[in-house]
Structure 1
């Protein structure tokens, strides 16, 4: 884990306060936790502060700490530990998080990173000259089957090529990010196969299928299933069966005999 520090003082604002709507949301969020556990709201409050200002400032950390009655150092520990918190300014229109974990790497994420270096800035977590775009490489974002992918703020963009990502970046920089469709950027539905379905493309025609369809018809009554139920008629479930727990004397005698046999075997 790399060392994460707050942005230098020259970038830090003098103060922080939640907007009117966010202040109402923050108070409601704190009330969700039991008495004495309100400090558990620290992560959602920091995330809302980031969504409001674009990054987590020193003033925001102190403000959240005051709201929750926490020492500043405790909230600072949270903000610097979790990498979803941006500790210095990022792109105002798009912060491109490129997944570089193995599945995406094997499917071309290194080319996407090279594009970000040339298109946005050579260094990660550094805004472009206009301050509108920034990027970073991150770990797995959970869409491995649609690799390679990036995440911009809360939306993922999958099945990318260099050309597709460049077009997405251009549209975000132009202020048209809301018009970009999240998810796969090719003809597929979520994680379904490319080119459409390859299985279950026809209605079932077997007797099993007919039975399954019939069971869904109104008025059809089926007996309860016995799956998962214990067989109470089995010999081993007979309540009269003696066990070490119910026949302690017999169990002790058996143990004594076993011990004598073991001694004789040694001789």
Structure 2
């Protein structure tokens, strides 16, 4: 008698069905590539991440067949491979589009318009988070911070940057992708399909023409916060309606600009605790008191 678990498609007391095998020609090709990958590492187990990218480049997502292949090549159990494949978000567990369109919705991008971009693309494409358009071209998802806050809001397509986006510009990008028109990232390498990206991430040469060249220019970054931290911002500008002061009076005089002060961080000018907080000087350590 078998007892069903709460998860659909999973049962207890019944052995797991074997994963379907790759066709002989596909497996032979993947085994050649796998030998090249494993040879890079002193311990074959270290090759698991690029091997998962290799299998993802074959089918567009990590399948049970791909995980079984990785386990066979590296002498691991399928449980060990599955634990890794399900931990990292870059490995897809279901069929997805040729172009993975991710909208950053972390704090700064969201404040700068990321939430509006994501909502606009959901409505425009007719899909929800993690879903793919009917033509198989675009998978939409919200993503975590990609360390590009100075160019917020950021959209990524197959992990290439599209900076300083708006709902209109993001809709144009996905429309061009679906129509097969050329799309150029604001910086980085030229765009390629998700399968091609996966093979590059597996460690194989990028054979695209001009792949080493920058795809574009992101434009000037927002450095307002850095200027404020350094104390080199200009005087405060007070704006009143109708170019006058309150109640029609003359505009106020801007406060005099104070000379810039040097702001050193703790890394620039390390100090002892007692010196950094004179109100609470640190007492002698136990060793000093002995």
- TM-score range (shorter-chain normalised) is 0.5 to 0.7
Shift of the 15–116 alpha-carbon distance from structure 1 to 2, 3 Å rule, reads farther
Superposed, 1:1-267 pairs within 5 Å as 14-16=20-22, 22-34=30-42, 37-92=43-98, 94-176=99-181, 179-183=182-186, 189-190=217-218, 192-193=220-221
| Whole-angstrom CA distance in 2 between matches of 1:22 and 1:149 | 35
Instruction: Name the structure where helix makes up a greater proportion of residues.
Output: 1
Shift of the 191–6 alpha-carbon distance from structure 1 to 2, 3 Å rule, reads farther
* Number of corresponding residues: 182
Higher relative contact order (CA 8 A, sep 6+): 2
| Length-normalised TM-score, structure 2 | 0.56
Q: CA deviation at 1:88?
A: 0.5
Shift of the 183–71 alpha-carbon distance from structure 1 to 2, 3 Å rule, reads same
Name stretches of at least 5 consecutive residues in structure 1 with no aligned partner.
Answer: 195-254, 260-267
**Greater Rg, structure 1 or structure 2?**
1
SS in 2 for 1:108: helix
Shift of the 57–45 alpha-carbon distance from structure 1 to 2, 3 Å rule, reads same
| Length-normalised TM-score, structure 1 | 0.61
Q: CA RMSD in A?
A: 3.0
Q: Which runs of 4+ in 1 moved over 6 A?
A: 5-8
| Whole-angstrom CA distance in 2 between matches of 1:124 and 1:60 | 25
